[in-house]
Structure 1
């Protein structure tokens, strides 16, 4: 039986209303899995968890969307998801990869966006993923002082999914999460 992926509203950050205790417990376990490249965000906050369900026979099934096809952290994230589910008592959970529709920065939760800013990483604005191809030079606000007087220093920051900027107002360097 195929896993039911959430495709009509792909930004899912928790169990659907009325979900059973196993699904709720799985979501709680998944909230403990932090992205290895951005450890202030869980895979839930990133919107990487696409589906959590109990299949016929009682086996837990989880679908994870990689942030992009070449992300070097995808393998370790899958291992950490499996480990967290195992620690929560789901010893035979099936963890699959879902690539359609492709992940977008629009799926990052509001809490996740706030955590990015608090840690000095400029979060992508909502809807930016759709504009990224036609407006790649959008202004990025400084997460330290809020100024929009910023400049791109490098298209690649501390990881491939971030770009390096500098604020002309407070003179602080900062990463910005690239829009996908």
Structure 2
């Protein structure tokens, strides 16, 4: 059982009538910690929560303390420190001052972990969501030509688009331009 001295905050999700010093069961603590962690957004794509991005992997209780597990979209992602700090702050405000945020590199993040809600949020923000990530089993064939992604313009829906830059505002996005409406747009890469 987690016994917590919980601070009252606007994000407090405890049932009505619970006192500040009431013991909290592990299940209640995990539910509250998940609710807090699910509010944290990606600093580079703020329309996505860490959960919708697939970065927030787990919330558990270990030795009476909340532990959250996050996985970076790629090794060296500069947003990881901000994600960790934002998670710590949100968990502190939810009454978990000793919460720990761990980074796990295995299994490696894949764009398939982005939720349908996340893909819709990307599209609504004018960013082309990723398609299915490539699945390789066995030897990987080498080609001399770049593989063409199945990308459609998020503004007009045309599939007549061209790659402007393999890297957009972040390393996990590529820049495209529509040949029909001529508008540029970001595309989250399939990883």
Unaligned runs of 5+ in 1: 1-18
Alignment correspondent of 1:5: none
Is residue 110–residue 133 contact of structure 2 (8 Å, CA) maintained in 1?
no
1:34 paired residue number: 41
Determine which structure has more spread, i.e. the larger CA radius of gyration. Answer: 2
Partner of 1:150: 161
Q: Match for 1:118 among 121, 124, 130? A: 124
Q: Tell me the distance in 2 between the aligned counterparts of 1:136 and 1:33.
A: 34
CA–CA separation in structure 1 for the residues paired with 2:186 and 2:135: 20
> 1:120·1:175 contact (CA, 8 Å) conserved in 2?
yes
Segments ≥4 residues shifted beyond 4 Å: none
SS at match of 1:147: coil
Distance in 1 of aligned mates of 2:42 and 2:115: 14
1:129 Cα deviation (Å)? Answer: 4.2
Q: 1:170 aligned to 2:181? A: yes
8 Å CA contact 1:139, 1:150 repeated in 2: no
Question: Following the alignment from structure 2 to structure 1, what is the Cα–Cα distance between the partners of residues 168 and 93?
Answer: 34
Query: When the two structures are aligned, how many residues end up with a matched partner?
Result: 159
Q: CA RMSD in A?
A: 1.7
Summarize deviations over 1:158-179 as a string: whole Å, max 9, x none: 2111100011122111000011
TM-score, scaled relative to structure 2: 0.78
Q: 2:104 aligns with which of 91, 94, 98?
A: 98
Describe how 1:13-24 pairs up with structure 2 within 5 A. 20-24=27-31
Say whether 1:47 aligns with 2:58: no
- Map of 1:139 onto structure 2: 150
For 1:95 and 1:149, how far apart are their aligned partners in 2?
43
